[in-house]
Amino acid sequence: MPNNLSLIDSARLALQCLDLTSLNTGDTSGDIVTLCQRAQTPFGPVAAVCVWPRFVSQARAALPPSIKVAAVANFPAGALDLAQALTDVKSIVSAGGDEVDVVLPYRALMQGQSIPCADFLAQMRTASRPLALKVIIESGELATPDLIAQATRLALDAGADYVKTSTGKTKTSATPAAARVMLQQIAAHGTPTSGFKASGGIRTVQEAKGYLDMVADILGADALTPQRLRFGASGLLNDIEAVLSGKASIASGGTY
C-alpha cells in the first residue's frame, strides 16, 4: 500500500473531505450554530455538515454554498420502514439540503431480505434526486465480509453516490477491514464517480491517514477528493487543527 502522504498532507485532505457531524439526541439550534461556526476553520472549510433533518434549513442559511448540508434518514435504526424514510428524505429536500445519508435496512439484509432492501434503496434514490445520496450499510453489525460486500453492491446498484460504513451509534463503527471490502466492491463496480465514507470512531489524523492511503491504493489518488471520499466525524476536526497548527496531536502527543 502506498504510504506517501505526510501527516500534514493527510490533515489537509481530511479537512477537505470532512462531514462535520452533530447527531446527538438532544441537539439544539444553539448546537447547530456552533457546528456551522466550527465548519469554517482558519485552515479552510469542511466539505459538509451533517445534522438531523429538522436542522437543515438553519444550517443551510448559516453556511456558504461551498459547504454542503447533509442530513440523515432512517437513522439510526435502519428499519425496513419505507414510509418513514421517505418522510425524512422529503423533509431534507424541501428544507434545502444538499446530501442525504440514509441507513440501509441492514437487519433485514441479514435476514435474507435482499430484494426488499434493493427496492427500499431504489425508492431512496428516486426521492433524493438531485441531492447526493450516501448509503450507510452499518458494516460493524453486518460483520462478515460477504454481507458487507453484498450491502455495498446493493447501494451501488441503486445509484448511491457514496457507500458509508456506519451510523456511529453501534458498538463497532468504521474499521480498516470493512473499508477494504467496501472499497474493493466500489472499484469492481466500475462506476468511476462512486465514493466512500468512513464514519464513526475516527478521531485522529493518523487514523484518517490509514483510510486515505487505502483509498489511494484501491481507487487511485484521483479519488482523494470530497467528490469521492468523506469522513463522518465530530471529534476529528480537533486533531486536524492540532496537526495543521503544529500543536500536540491526540495520536502521539508530539508536534508536526
Active site residues: 101, 164, 197
Find out whether 100 and 128 touch, Cβ atoms under 8 Å: yes
Residue 93 DSSP one-character state: H
Task: Report the relative pairing of strands 40-41 and 44-45 from DSSP bridges.
Answer: antiparallel
* Cell, residue 170: 453501534
Joined together, the cell numbers standing for residue 219 give: 481507487
In sequence order, the 6+-apart residues with CB closer than 8 A to the CB of 239 are 11, 203, 204, 205, 249, 250, 251
Give the CA distances from residue 246 to residues 4, 26, 51, 234, in Å, rounded to whole numbers and listed in that order.
Answer: 20, 34, 30, 20
